[in-house]
Chains A and B, each alone.
Chain A
């Protein structure tokens, strides 16, 4: 009798999400990693909206200024320019310059046009060092987080969404739908990964962050598809699904309201693996020339620069981008692990 009472009480239990929140709150490491991830996302949002690292491309230091945590001293650096000789002194060898009257007029109005710019004051040490143009590495890392996190998250969301929907359809309906999607999956995975990337890049035929997201999203769904399909195959004949069917739940409802939460732990783990993988893939794409364009900075492009600098003993750009990436990737993995535990309905609260 008591057991019946208990089940009566538990039917008034809080929802899955409330339970998950409770479980997560008890997981200290999970919370910490959540904080780290939120911090990174806030940082990249901050840089996206211009609150942070707005002046990252300003050349404040000398080239490859080494990192220091002590006071930095200013150093006068010449503007790297030979003095401009007055145009009247340049021998035209009998030729006429059609622009000469115009330039004369300009120079009469703006006498500073013919003076070399004054020497610039640049620091010779910088917290976290400077890159080859004298830009602050730490600001560059913050700016780079914007691209990397955007690429990693959005591409992973795209890939996981495609994989989940296709996997759900395939596993739930079976039959010819399953056959067709399996065939599609097989064809897709039969093509070597790099060739596929090249093919999609050739079809999209433009470079930019959105192209990278599409490339990674459209090629990365296969693993998710396989796992989700297996989950749906397992779940579709379970009693709770049959019960839902008996109550008249539609296909859509059974697939996405009843079964999906039970596969969420798989999806989340896959999502985290994909985020981590895609942040790294962006580096590879940069290497193949499909990476971010030259005006965009990302951790991938920083690492790409760092490989040549490292030979010269300049390690700070590698460390900055590497540490940022490692931190985010680790935090993301731990967080999804914690989420998995929190969301698994089979784990007793």
Chain B
């Protein structure tokens, strides 16, 4: 027994020694950015990603053709892997992209020690992957039915069970090794936004095929960083990609407030920070306290701690004295309740079920939520497209108001009778309850309490389901989540990015409510053909109204983002769209801070 123990100690110390020697000593002080994420990553295959935390990391690992300017507001598209902005012709139907030369993938055993350059064929492969039925990509909607000939290929794959990546697609024409002509099925001026998403970061075919079935654990991209150490759902360490090209910080801005950033950063090589250390901290309080101790460098303050750091809209003097900076902006995001239309208890389009869902949505008091839970760091938003996004309507009036009295009358009228225990039953006497899904954190216990209170007001039984965030996403894709308060942040600042959340064919992808209504879908398809215009806005209003009428969704709130920045972080500016900007900032190393 003891011998075994000694052997264990020896072998583990050998392992430790090996681990230490793998990381060579640096001569200059190492710049390490410390951050926390509020939910675990879901795996780093961009084609399968749909959550913000994972996208934030993928933004650093992979590079799409375009990106958003770091400083410009409102946000502006700029080239990233493309050498310049695409040449758009034929009324927005043809997009000609030219790639940068000398862009290499990060090292991986698959390349057998050779440098691997990015070519136009890689872009074609990356786009094709979104249509492969096997990948079930939540972001398929960005290219679905948009590129000539691509959907035919997907249909063929659905029949044969095999996606033919060697096929020539009319809409994806490789003009030269670094040039690609994309032909769209119709006019679409938003296509550039699609090509700026981290999910459209370019991948190499041989890597994806070598790691078939486990691509989510082998991210190989061209970004400034690559994965160093990774302990699943606990910590992720990003290190510099040695093959990253010589890219310089060159952003400009007219805003006088940005001048300090421009002065500090212009001409510096990207990235300046050697390592990004990301911890998954689900409890907001732990993250908040870590920030105060200086263990985190940048921290988005959750609403519940706003009274601690803010007086009004200003930072508390105590924090100001420490040199901590505050940046505030309205998140281009909505928090919305959805009810699963396929749920056996609440779903269906019968009038009685519509009334049931409307009554449930009428029992929710958003004002109370804003004051008690979000501590005033949110505001009521009834329209599915938030502030700062094209198509937003500030004057939209919600049809569903907090009105438990009328909700009760409505349920009585429809025949949802209360049984002896004080809770209602289905019209036919069957069981009736709302299974409400949240994560395990204490913030979400508040959401549960609100929900329980709301449902008690109208005499409907509350049942809780607690899952980890990645499990919730999985359950949503399978239409197994009955009701949830979900949130969606703009990938790009256009209303389409929000309205697609209820599009029937997006069920099992992003349409967690699994709402599939022919009339709605038809109206939605009409908006796709229209540029940003009053005509399209009117259609959006109709779509929003239909969601309310059918009791599918109640848009609840929009939030204010309060970002705290430690004094030693250089060049940080909160970006409304980019999920992460770590490659664009710098740090004063630990030894040189005072």
Binding site for B on A (CB under 8 A): 63, 80-82, 84-85, 87, 89-99, 102-103, 105-107, 109-110, 112-114, 117, 132-133, 207, 288-289, 293-295, 304-305, 307-308, 311-312
Contact = CB atoms under 8 A, between A and B. Distances in A.
B210 interface: no
A103 B551 CA distance: 14
9 contacts: A80-B367, A94-B542, A103-B410, A105-B413, A106-B409, A112-B405, A114-B406, A132-B446, A307-B285
A89 B284 CA distance: 42
B409 A97 contact: no
The binding surface of chain A is classed by DSSP as loop
A103 B368 CA distance: 25
| Most A-side CB within 10 Å, residue of B308, B351, B409, B413 | B409
B399 A63 contact: no
B34 interface: no
B413 A80 contact: no
Given A93-B545, A114-B406, A307-B442, 10 more contacts: A81-B402, A92-B545, A95-B542, A95-B545, A95-B549, A99-B549, A103-B410, A110-B406, A289-B440, A308-B285
| Most B-side CB within 10 Å, residue of A82, A92, A93, A207 | A93
B409 A113 contact: yes
A313 to B, nearest CB: 9
A304 to B, nearest CB: 6
B411 to A, nearest CB: 11
B414 to A, nearest CB: 8
A62 B201 CA distance: 51
B104 to A, nearest CB: 44
A304 B442 contact: yes
Nearest to A92: B545
Interface string B403-419: 10110011001000000
A110 B541 contact: no
Contacts of B371: 63, 80
A141 to B, nearest CB: 17
Contacts of A94: 542
B367 A82 contact: yes
Interface residues on B, range: 35 or more
| Most A-side CB within 10 Å, residue of B354, B380, B399 | B399
B546 A95 contact: yes
A300 to B, nearest CB: 12
Contacts of A293: 464
Given A113-B405, A307-B442, A295 B452 contact: yes
A293 B466 CA distance: 10
The binding surface of chain B is classed by DSSP as helix
Interface string B449-481: 100110000000010101000000000000000
Contacts of B368: 80
Contacts of A82: 367, 380, 401
Interface string B234-246: 0000000000000
Interface in B289-312: 289, 304-305, 307-308
Nearest to A106: B409
| Most B-side CB within 10 Å, residue of A81, A99, A288 | A99
Contacts of A63: 371-372
Given A91-B397, A98-B351, A99-B351, A117 B549 contact: no
B449 A97 contact: no
Contacts of B328: none
Nearest to A287: B442
B63 interface: no
Nearest to A112: B405
Contacts of B446: 132
A113 B545 contact: no
Given A94-B542, A207-B464, A311-B305, A80 B405 contact: no
Nearest to B349: A98
A89 B561 CA distance: 34
A103 B411 CA distance: 11
A311 B464 CA distance: 27
Nearest to B368: A80
Contact of A99 (B307, B355, B372, B453): B355
Contacts of B453: 133
| 8 closest Cβ pairs, A-B complex | A289-B440, A113-B406, A294-B448, A80-B367, A93-B542, A84-B401, A80-B368, A93-B541
B365 A106 contact: no
Contact of B466 (A97, A289, A307): A289
A146 to B, nearest CB: 18
B305 A81 contact: no
A97 B403 contact: no
B402 A106 contact: no
B50 to A, nearest CB: 23
A207 B448 CA distance: 14
A308 B304 contact: yes
A218 to B, nearest CB: 22
A81 B367 contact: yes
A70 to B, nearest CB: 25
B228 to A, nearest CB: 29
A89 B399 CA distance: 10
Contacts of B289: 311
A308 B283 CA distance: 10
Contacts of B97: none
